Structure 1
Amino acid sequence: MRAPGRSCSPSRPTKRSNTSGRSRSASSPSWTARPMEFATLLSRLPGRQKNSISSFEGGRVVQRTHATVHDDVRAACAALTAWGVKPGMRVGIRSPNSYFWIVHDLALIELGAVSIAFTDDFANTSARELQERYALALLLIPASERAKHPAEDTFLAGLGGENPGVRAVDVGAADAADAAERPWRIFSSGSSAGLKGLVMSKRGIEASVAAFAEAVVPRADDCLLLFLPISNFQQRLMYYAALWYGFDLIVTDPNRLFRALKELRPTILIAPPTLYEAVETRFHNLPRGARLAATAGAALASVLPVQAAREKLARLIFKQVYEMLGGRMRLMVTGMAPIKRSTLNLFARMQLPLFETYGLIESGSVSLNLPGAHRVGSVGRLLSGVQVDIAEDGELIVRREHPMAVSYFEGAPGESERTFLGDGRVATGDIGRVDKDGYLYLVGRKKEIIVTAGGEKVHPESVEAEIDACPDVAKSVVFASPGAPSLTAVVLPKDPKDLDARARIEGFIEALGERHHLMNVGKVIFTDIVFTRENGFLRPNLKLDRKQIVAHFHSQSEEAAA
């Protein structure tokens, strides 16, 4: 158990351009830690009594050392074996985040079984249907849900609970050799639409974790907060890294995020832009006098010659923000979707280390901004072992010896061949560029390009970034109505009730169109609806669901016009 008040850590073929700078590889930073390997991951844990995993259970915080994790994984291996799980068998997991999720994931890797993690997209699919569709030998669900299922569903086991009568289903021959190298089947929501099933590679994951760790250089006193669904594979990379390199981990869910930040005081946070942008919106909505005073104080702090002095003054000025984040944060990372430039600027003024990263589930982590090596507007320099080629149409093609995924097992016909190009090359679907200093910049998604009535191509992300630069805008989404001569922008103001702000936003957008004719917005639709996963405007990967947004606001606009 954890003592009250303690922190979590007490102690498609590509045409290579001949233009200089179009293909870049990262130089290897100084790093002496042994690269991660799953074969010996579990054996590193028994002697670790100082590092731990903290989680909320029954309303209280429970802390388990890495040594305890080792023992619990061994116990889970014994239970799974007793239920009849053998190498190569498929075992599904459909459950919210928990310590036991992590334990059973590690146990399945150790046994050589294949795990299939089901995302929220499968919330309404019956357990029996999942078992039959994906040839599951076993399905792991929350212990609290096991009692709701018929006793004859012996293929169901509750995570962390009593499981009498559980027996794996004999689904025929299993490929143990393939499972040893590719023990995960996962689902990922595409940026444009559609659910994709991916086959994940051990060597690719080991390489991606090692490259990220080389850049971040984790410390023994670090504590990383994990709160997004573990069924999204990126979250599992975090706990693999914590267990391999020996630092603390907090596992929770979005509902307990702010409690975990304040009580358990992490040092590393990886979160989507929406979290950090919410901080900016709260700052913007402060009384004008308080906001101006804080801005002036931040400007004073920025000119102090010593970083420690700058941070000390910023802690006084932005005391509430520091307390909300736990007061120990040494690195915050964001990706998954573009973040507003003004949000990055605010965190810089607060002397809080927030940096953008870029990666995709198919290839792994690609690039990262870091203290002392960052450029606002970019997503950082390439990580070790990563190369980026740029196709003739501007698409980024990521190359690494071992990508994280090797293929799609479920998805649109031909999608796997269009994405996995061979020789470690992955087509990202992103348009971008690399500058002369090796910083990577994203322009937009290929599939999101808008073709105007005049036949010109516009990246909506570029227009949205310009609109989002308006101090009164919390978020914008741009689309083109069929046959319309100009663009339509859906705008969420930081203060939806401020009518003067709406007028300023309209003037800002009008001036933008006068400066850049491709950014001419003919209609502005104001909304007070925050884009979330719950209302369908964000996909499970927390990127905008443009089809849903366009369908909703286009029909709303037409109804208003009628």
Structure 2
Amino acid sequence: MSETVVSLFKDRVRRHADRVALRALRAGGAREEAALTWRQWAEAARQTAAALIDAGHQPGAVAAVLAGNRMLWPVADLGILSAGLVSAGLYPSSAPAQVRQILSDSEAEVVFVDTLARMEKVLAVRDALPRLRTIVCEDAAFTDGDAATAGNSRPEIVSWEEWLQRGARALRSPAIAERLEQRAQRLSPEQTAVLIYTSGSTGDPKGACISHRYLLASAASIRDTLKLGERDTTLSVLPYCHAGERVFGLYTRILCGMETGLVEDHTCIRDAARSFGPTVFGGLPRFFEKVFESLQAELAAAPAATRERWERVIATGRLRSRLIRTDAEVPAALEAQWRREGEPFFAHVREHFGGRLRLATSGGAALPMEIAELLDALGVTVLGAYGLTEHLCVAFNRPDRYAFDGVGPPMPGSELRIAADGEILVRRGPLTFSGYLNRPVETAEAFTDDGEWLCTGDLGTLSSQGILHVTGRKKELIALSTGKKVAPLPIESRLLEDPWISQAMLYGEGRKFITALICLRQAVVEGWARGEGNGPREYSAIIRHPDVLTRVQAAVNRVNANLSRTEQIRRLVVLDRDLTLEAEELTPTLKLRRSVIAERYRHLLDALYT
């Protein structure tokens, strides 16, 4: 059995050298279609590693990657690991200050970038990075003379093509080739392989030290949970620096031998899915919401007879889904009716994912119940999961055992318990991180006093069936002036079950009661306005229409009906746009940056208390 990512990768290359491993998709934003076999990937990674060794970089040093989902990322990553170095990733959307923070904290000696624009981000902060020796840029097009001139700068700037050529030349030396082999052999399972920086929604990002053992054990847990194999194909959409894409994606694909389509531009995900046809689709809730919105629009526009058939299949599918989720037996006649009447609709829904879908997963935030139930009723079961950078594989729904109001039972290799204050604790083990880089105090604080359990910071419950339910964040509890505390996450999740509401954030720290900031699904609301005929046409005017506000208030009232007086939303404000990653209102995994949002819209929120 492989003990490190490098030995795992070499095993895969030996088994399937000439199979395609990676595809750059024009439909996913790539400049041109391209394919890389496992053998070609291995050769390019070997050249990358040889160039690092030849340049004098020692085992344990850090090399970083600042790039989108291009082939550069996995090639550079495996090259860094093969040379015995530690691989650190940066979000491609990082601002120069964030680039400086991570490159400085990690003491990166080399950074691989894809575009000239991202190289400029590094150059803008290079004076604060004394340890940085080299920038390797894929889009740089130096001639040999230009490279020599660039080599006189600090840091040195090298094109990706030239870097690979340096590695190829270095490998002609038996000494370099031997050192490369020795470094791979000397890697140990407990050695830090990668640094994954937390998203920093509540403070400065910390570098989580992730060992080879963590990566291999996590990949095996994911494979066994979802029954993944070499016949599966998948898209790479999330940034590789994210724990989910790095572990659930990159290293699990290596373990399973899965072919991957690279989506460089996440806004092209639908076109990429239709072009590539993945069998496994992992996405954030927003993509599934867009599919839901498209289906709702199609249903509304369908002829009466077709709409009646849709609704009959959906009703049967909802009943079937609820029986499965309550561990009840699905009558054979019901199952047969659902499959017989639903197959034409199932095939249509699968086309949104490329037509070959057998498994869909969602992470990062809860998928609203209304969306999950509709998709399940139409043959696409979206399996929710729960994990964190420090221990990615905590809980996962299974294809034959799932719940939409929970994140599933513990994954293989993970053991959970709920602390007296409701916090979810995960037993320390092979799937757990090693600590935060150069932060011993914060590392100790991440565990219980005996060091045996990882403190997730999340609140939750375990059902009698062993299903984990996440109910909120300890640090996100809203403390009202009355002394009562309110967990916003479960209330926000219930609001999102309404087909009109796309985002919601509760507010009320230090106040007498709870209020809410709400964003609507623009396509749904504009569809309503068109149906009204004489209503306003501008979206900013539509959301102020009395009937729209009445409709939103009715959704809030339905949620309030099941809440205590303290938890109820007394007043609300509707924004005329979605909260976005680009405006720094969301984390890279699309979670709310509550402090940023509260400050930016304080004038609207405070007005609710006057």
Give 1:311 shift: 5.4
2:545 aligned with 1:513, yes or no?
Answer: no
Match of 1:489 in 2: 516
2:58 aligned with 1:108, yes or no?
Answer: no
Give 1:204 shift: 1.5
Q: In the superposition, relative to structure 1, how do residues 312 and 275 fare at CA in structure 2: closer, same or farther (>3 Å)?
A: farther
* Matches of 2:3 and 2:166, distance apart in 1: 37
* Matches of 1:127 and 1:187, distance apart in 2: 12
Contact persistence 1:358–1:367 (CA under 8 A): yes
Counterpart of 2:290 in structure 1: which amino acid?
A
Residue 88 (structure 1) aligned to one of 46, 60, 68: 60
Contact persistence 2:393–2:431 (CA under 8 A): no
Match of 1:299 in 2: 315
Match of 1:260 in 2: 272
* Residues 496-542 of structure 1: CA deviation (Å, up to 9, x unaligned): 43643431221232354354213321211112311221122211232
Q: In the superposition, relative to structure 1, how do residues 128 and 426 fare at CA in structure 2: closer, same or farther (>3 Å)?
A: closer
* Residues 77-133 of structure 1: CA deviation (Å, up to 9, x unaligned): 223223333322221222222112101211211121122222246431498887666
Q: In the superposition, relative to structure 1, how do residues 415 and 468 fare at CA in structure 2: closer, same or farther (>3 Å)?
A: same
Give 1:381 shift: 0.7
Residue 123 (structure 1) aligned to one of 89, 95, 120: 95
Residue 260 (structure 2) aligned to one of 243, 246, 249: 249
* Matches of 2:385 and 2:568, distance apart in 1: 30
Contact persistence 2:189–2:213 (CA under 8 A): no
Q: Which stretch shows the higher mean deviation, 335-344 or 139-148? A: 139-148
Match of 2:402 in 1: 374
* Matches of 2:394 and 2:609, distance apart in 1: 45
Give 1:154 shift: 4.9
* Residues 232-251 of structure 1: CA deviation (Å, up to 9, x unaligned): 13212112111222221122
Match of 2:195 in 1: 185
Residue 282 (structure 1) aligned to one of 294, 314, 319: 294
* Matches of 1:178 and 1:41, distance apart in 2: 13
Alignment of 1:12-91 (within 5 A): 37-44=4-11, 45-48=13-16, 49-56=18-25, 59-91=31-63
Richer in helix (by share): 2
Give the secondary structure class of the aligned counterpart of 1:436: coil
Q: In the superposition, relative to structure 1, how do residues 246 and 480 fare at CA in structure 2: closer, same or farther (>3 Å)?
A: same
Match of 1:31 in 2: none
Q: In the superposition, relative to structure 1, how do residues 56 and 510 fare at CA in structure 2: closer, same or farther (>3 Å)?
A: closer
Counterpart of 1:479 in structure 2: which amino acid?
Y
Q: In the superposition, relative to structure 1, how do residues 456 and 444 fare at CA in structure 2: closer, same or farther (>3 Å)?
A: same
* Matches of 2:22 and 2:559, distance apart in 1: 49
* Matches of 2:201 and 2:195, distance apart in 1: 19
* Matches of 1:122 and 1:157, distance apart in 2: 21
Match of 1:170 in 2: none
Counterpart of 1:276 in structure 2: which amino acid?
F
2:282 aligned with 1:270, yes or no?
Answer: yes
Give 1:464 shift: 1.2
* Matches of 2:438 and 2:576, distance apart in 1: 37
Alignment of 1:314-393 (within 5 A): 314=342, 316-317=344-345, 321-393=349-421
Give 1:322 shift: 2.4
* Matches of 1:307 and 1:36, distance apart in 2: 44
Residue 504 (structure 1) aligned to one of 542, 551, 559: 551
Aligned residues: 521
Contact persistence 2:291–2:352 (CA under 8 A): no
What runs of 5+ residues in structure 1 fail to find an aligned partner?
1-33, 167-173
Contact persistence 1:429–1:447 (CA under 8 A): yes
Give the secondary structure class of the aligned counterpart of 1:256: helix
Alignment of 1:366-515 (within 5 A): 366-409=394-437, 414-421=441-448, 423-480=451-508, 482-483=510-511, 485-494=512-521, 495-496=524-525, 497=542, 499=545, 500-515=547-562
* Matches of 2:434 and 2:63, distance apart in 1: 20
Counterpart of 1:153 in structure 2: which amino acid?
R
* Matches of 2:91 and 2:215, distance apart in 1: 20
Q: Which stretch shows the higher mean deviation, 86-95 or 373-382? A: 86-95
Cα RMSD after superposing both structures: 3.3
Residue 201 (structure 1) aligned to one of 193, 211, 229: 211
Give the secondary structure class of the aligned counterpart of 2:425: strand
2:110 aligned with 1:138, yes or no?
Answer: yes
Contact persistence 2:385–2:396 (CA under 8 A): yes
Counterpart of 1:256 in structure 2: which amino acid?
C
* Matches of 1:559 and 1:68, distance apart in 2: 60
Contact persistence 1:54–1:63 (CA under 8 A): yes
* Residues 13-47 of structure 1: CA deviation (Å, up to 9, x unaligned): xxxxxxxxxxxxxxxxxxxxx67742521322134
Alignment of 1:228-247 (within 5 A): 228-237=238-247, 238-247=249-258
* Matches of 1:205 and 1:194, distance apart in 2: 24
* Residues 311-345 of structure 1: CA deviation (Å, up to 9, x unaligned): 57545336654222101111111111122111111
Give 1:424 shift: 4.9
* Residues 187-220 of structure 1: CA deviation (Å, up to 9, x unaligned): 1114534322211111122111111111111122
Contact persistence 1:139–1:155 (CA under 8 A): no
Match of 2:536 in 1: none
Give the secondary structure class of the aligned counterpart of 2:469: strand
Give 1:289 shift: 5.1
Higher RCO by CA contacts (8 Å cutoff, separation 6 or greater): 1
Give me the TM-score of the superposition, normalised by structure 2: 0.77
* Matches of 1:131 and 1:463, distance apart in 2: 38
Q: Which stretch shows the higher mean deviation, 64-73 or 49-58? A: 49-58
* Matches of 2:562 and 2:253, distance apart in 1: 48
* Matches of 1:231 and 1:198, distance apart in 2: 12
Give the secondary structure class of the aligned counterpart of 1:420: coil
2:221 aligned with 1:211, yes or no?
Answer: yes
What runs of 5+ residues in structure 2 fail to find an aligned partner?
115-136, 168-182, 321-331, 526-541
Give the secondary structure class of the aligned counterpart of 1:183: strand
* Matches of 1:107 and 1:318, distance apart in 2: 42
- Identical positions, percent: 22
* Residues 241-294 of structure 1: CA deviation (Å, up to 9, x unaligned): 112222211222314322220101001122111211222233344563539543
Counterpart of 1:278 in structure 2: which amino acid?
K
Give the secondary structure class of the aligned counterpart of 2:434: strand
Give the secondary structure class of the aligned counterpart of 2:238: coil
Q: Which stretch shows the higher mean deviation, 239-248 or 313-322? A: 313-322
Give the secondary structure class of the aligned counterpart of 1:203: helix
Give the secondary structure class of the aligned counterpart of 2:231: coil
Residue 98 (structure 1) aligned to one of 64, 70, 89: 70
